[in-house]
């Protein structure tokens, strides 16, 4: 039988690359309210405001200036500058003290895909952002994108960590290689965010079945929790969140030696519950004009989100 949600997911992931549909949705003002459920807003002030509100309820944050697949040097530069400005604004209101709020960066947004020396351009921009984060008293996590960039991103991570050892990595449990990457990165001081993975990947590199992805996630969690690094458990999945807690207890981890992470607008009550019980909960806050690809990935993950979105289009259009 055809799996309807898998078809929907594939279609939405393809749409996330469609320029025409993107223009249509971005221009429709009615979409904006729907977008605001998952995206903090378009300005630096919107992002800082969202992080401040979360801090008031005991939640940490990581802020992402939306933009990806940059093919233009000026745009890559502008993205890097936006992060530097953001980190200054976060520091001014005291959000960065002790890393309570940090930033997440996609290397493709700062030049990784530029022809020729994209790797170096992205590295230089990432270095500027890391320096601004260090000046502000916080750090950076490098988001992970599709599998064609995994090696390059891990290479950039290694280079950045020479000067900024707290830079965080992201590993995606749907990739066959990830359990081994977890073991490699589970070393002292190494911050590693484990997520399921959000891109459409071929069978040759990634588990396709959600149960297989979940099993891989648990194997990866075991490696991270048993190691000496700092695991960041990024999932909304109640079973995985529970297993992470049990593994942390088994390895006698204190509450400050790992953290949970969830996305802005997703399971906010659960976020508060975890923070209230004394565990660390960090919320990933996206903001900026380039919200389309991000939003489509969230729709692809959960048909209920898509229904919510389509209903808003229909009722307000």
List C-alpha distances in Å: 230 to 145, 227, 249: 21, 8, 14
Structure tokens at 19: 């320029």
Looking at 165-237, list the stretches that DSSP marks H as alpha helix, in order from N- to C-terminal side: 178-185, 210-226
| Residue placing its CB nearer to ligand FAD in the complex, 205 or 266 | 266
How many binding residues for ligand FAD (CB under 6 A)? 24
**Residue 161 falls in the annotated catalytic set:** no
Closer by beta carbon to ligand FAD, 44 or else 216: 216
Contacts of ligand FAD in 142-161 (CB under 6 A): 143-144
* Residue given tokens 């393809």 in the structure block: 14
By CB under 6 A, is residue 195 in contact with ligand FAD? yes
- Binding ligand FAD by CB under 6 A: which of 51, 263, 274, 281? 263
Segment near ligand FAD (CB under 6 A), from 16-24, 41-49, 192-200, 242-250? Answer: 192-200
Q: How far is CA 19 from the centre of its chain?
A: 23
- Residue from 55, 144, 155, 158 nearest 102 by CA: 55
From 66-74, 126-134, 195-203, 272-280, span contacting ligand FAD (CB under 6 A): 195-203
What DSSP designation does 195 have? E
**Pairing of β 169-172 and β 140-142:** unpaired
Active-site residue 214, yes or no? no
Q: Among the options 22, 59, 143, 214, which is catalytic?
A: 143
Question: Which segment (6-14, 70-78, 220-228, 235-243) binds ligand FAD by CB under 6 A?
Answer: 235-243
Q: Report the residue from 36, 37, 183, 236 that binds ligand FAD according to the rule CB under 6 A.
A: 236
Read off the tokens for 307.
Answer: 């229904």
Count other C-beta atoms under 10 Å from residue 87's C-beta: 28
Residue 181 beta carbon to ligand FAD: minimum distance, rounded to whole angstroms: 13
Active site residues: 143, 193
């Amino acid at each position: 039988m055809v799996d309807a949600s898998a078809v929907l997911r594939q279609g939405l992931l393809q749409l996330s690359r469609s320029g025409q549909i993107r223009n249509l949705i971005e221009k429709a003002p009615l979409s904006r309210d729907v977008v605001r459920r998952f995206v903090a807003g378009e300005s630096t002030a919107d992002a800082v405001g969202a992080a401040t509100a979360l801090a008031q309820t005991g939640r940490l944050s990581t802020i992402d200036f939306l933009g990806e697949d940059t093919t233009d040097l000026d745009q890559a530069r502008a993205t890097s500058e936006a992060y530097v400005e953001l980190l200054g604004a976060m520091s001014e209101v005291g959000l960065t003290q002790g890393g309570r709020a940090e930033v997440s960066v996609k290397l493709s947004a700062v030049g990784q895909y530029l022809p020729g020396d994209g790797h170096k351009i992205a590295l230089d921009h990432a270095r500027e952002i890391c320096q601004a984060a260090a000046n502000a008293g916080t750090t950076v996590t490098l988001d992970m994108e599709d599998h064609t960039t995994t090696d390059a991103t891990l290479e950039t991570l290694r280079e950045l960590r020479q000067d900024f050892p707290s830079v965080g990595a992201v590993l995606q449990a749907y990739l066959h290689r990830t359990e081994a990457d977890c073991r490699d990165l589970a070393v002292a001081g190494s911050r590693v965010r484990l997520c399921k993975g959000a891109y459409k990947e071929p069978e040759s590199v990634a588990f396709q079945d959600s149960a297989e992805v979940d099993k891989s996630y648990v194997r990866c969690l075991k490696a991270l929790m048993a190691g000496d690094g700092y695991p960041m458990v990024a999932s909304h999945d109640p079973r995985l969140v529970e297993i992470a807690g049990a593994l942390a207890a088994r390895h006698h981890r204190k509450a400050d030696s790992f953290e949970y992470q969830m996305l802005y607008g997703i399971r906010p009550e659960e976020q508060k519950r975890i923070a209230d019980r004394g565990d660390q909960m960090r919320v990933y806050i996206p903001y900026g004009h380039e919200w389309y690809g991000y939003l489509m990935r969230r729709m692809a993950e959960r048909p209920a989100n898509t229904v919510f979105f389509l209903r808003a289009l229909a009722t307000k259009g």
